[in-house]
Amino acid sequence: MGIVAGLDSSPDFTRIVVCDTDTGAVLRQGYAPHPVDGADGAARPSDIDPQAWLLSLGEAAGGGLLEGVQAIGVSSQQNALVPLDAQGNTVRPAMVGGDRRAQVAAADLIDGLGGREEWARAVGAVPQAAHPVTKLRWLAKTDPDAAHRTAALLQAHDWLVWQLLGRPGRRTTDRGGASGTGYWSAAQGGYRHDLVELALGHRTLLPDVIGPSEAAGTTPEGLLISAGTGETMAAAFGLGIGLGDAVVSLGASGSVMAVHPEALVDQSGMITSLADATGMHLPVVTTLNAVRTLRGAAELLGLGDLEALSELAVKSTPGAHGLVMLPYLEGERTPNLPHTAGTLAGLRRESMRPEHLARAAFEGMLCGLADALDVLRGRGVEVRRLFLLGAAAELAAVQAAAPALFGVQIVVPQPADYAAIGAARQAAWALGVSQGTLDPRTPPAWQQPAAQVLEPGEELAVGQAVRQQYVSVREQTHPGAFRS
């Protein structure tokens, strides 16, 4: 049929993939870092001029990369808030990332609505420092003039789509992006304008939420622009996950998300109720301690990298000779133990060897994520297959332990920018619907990514015994931590 493009504007760079409309095969790609202010660029700032995203986009698309492309989709970093004045100009630089300046504002908002449970009921999420709604409260408290001049709100992908279309009168977003703002409810499918007013002091214009297969518009040159979405939703769409699938992301912190047919309202605040890029829902549970647990163990053992820690861990056996690590090194969010510390239990003379400590670090990290997965399972989310993402997913110790500890088939996809691929798939969907060749309720069936598939096999019983050992230590150390 033709070719489409997907654009992923991450916190640090822009990547563009050009894909075959029918199969999703990546035909060519471009990349450019975002321009960095300052001499060394060592610390990523919390305030970014959105024009930097456009400059990076233009560089990534250079050399005729988009020649022949019929439609483009945009995915972008989540939680980036772009406040606009009445003329559509930025009031101040965009506020991006997990902005620590806003931590007090998050607590203010939680109290202002009457507690965590009220927020969970209202929008399926409890305010964190990263949420746009929290940044609005911070702006109102620290820069009242800028807050007063704020007449409209966009997120990063909304702003990029609007710019690509030539700044039309109508501004749009999608369900996925809107669900991460803290002022749109995935369960109700609508904005909570009162929460914007609670945070900012007055109401503003908010972008229209359009359907997953709708087009945001067409450029004067005839290039169709799809709805766009956040990076998490785009990556899920690029991976092709569906009902029965979950994704575990191994970063410094960790996250577990799954596709579900309905929004989950969780009064404990452990589940964040997001919408996906297809019309379904994407409940997410996060942990504060994932790969940072491994890095800490590697430093303690005097090892140079995670590969060395993995090589050491595989010399041990499942259960690490009774050594159990509760990996709550930075406190923990799942379970909600913000002021606790990690625990190393089961020390005996025979367990006090480097390889057992290394194994306990891997098992502790994975068991912590299995706890997060069980939060979803406990709410009726079916999980038959689990995608494992992040560089640590390639480590032998992770691949040896994960299938039996999670108790399901593990898929380790080949590294790729799945957010850009998901954005391209969304573009192909919108293009097909506009041409009458695709159903607006059914996305194009693209080829699955190349991946390793790992089965629990005969190790399942051993893995579940290790998991039970971990749960016993957790219950003894933090009794009732998972009771809502």
Judge whether 178 and 210 are in contact, CB under 8 Å: no
Low-confidence residues in the chain, pLDDT < 50:
38-43
| CB distance 181 to 157 below 8 Å | no
Distance CA 348, CA 479 (A): 23
**Assigned token pair, 356:** 């057992």
HSE toward the beta carbon, residue 257, CA cutoff 13 A: 25
Residue whose entry in the numeric block shows the structure tokens 């829902």: 281
Rounded CA Rg of the chain: 23
Paired tokens of 12? 């640090």
**pLDDT for res 86:** 97
Q: Compute the distance between CA of residue 373 and CA of residue 367 in angstroms, rounded to an integer.
A: 9
CA atoms of 258 and 240, how far apart (whole Å): 12
**pLDDT (0 to 100) of residue 1:** 64
Residue 99: per-residue pLDDT: 72
Query: How far apart are the C-alpha atoms of 174 and 233, rounded to whole Å?
Result: 10
**Spatial distance between the Cα atoms of 290 and 426, rounded to a whole number of angstroms:** 31
Give the separation between CA 210 and CA 28, rounded to whole angstroms.
29
Rounded Cα–Cα distance for residues 57 and 109 (Å): 35
Give me the pLDDT at residue 421, please.
98
The total of other beta-carbon atoms located within 10 Å of residue 36's CB is 15
Q: How far apart are CA 477 and CA 367, in angstroms?
A: 15
Beta-strand runs (E) in 138-206: 152-155, 172-174, 184-185, 190-191
**Dihedral pair phi/psi, residue 73, rounded to 5°:** -115, 150
Neighbours of 33 (CB within 10 A): 14
Question: Which residue, chain included where needed, has tokens 């990263």?
Answer: 130
SS3 at position 441 = coil
In terms of Cα–Cα distance, which of 445, 474, 225 is closest to 325? 474
Q: What is the pLDDT of residue 41?
A: 42
Q: How many Å apart are CA 226 and CA 218, to the nearest integer?
A: 9
* Contacting residues for 298 by C-beta, under 8 A, at least 6 apart: 304, 305, 306, 308, 309
Instruction: End-to-end CA distance of the chain: give it in Å, rounded.
Output: 51
Q: Are 186 and 273 a contacting pair, CB within 8 Å? A: yes
Q: How far apart are the C-alpha atoms of 82 and 453, rounded to whole Å?
A: 41
> What residues form DSSP beta bridges with 87?
none
Cα–Cα distance between 416 and 433 in angstroms, integer? 27
- Beta strands 81-84 and 152-155 are antiparallel
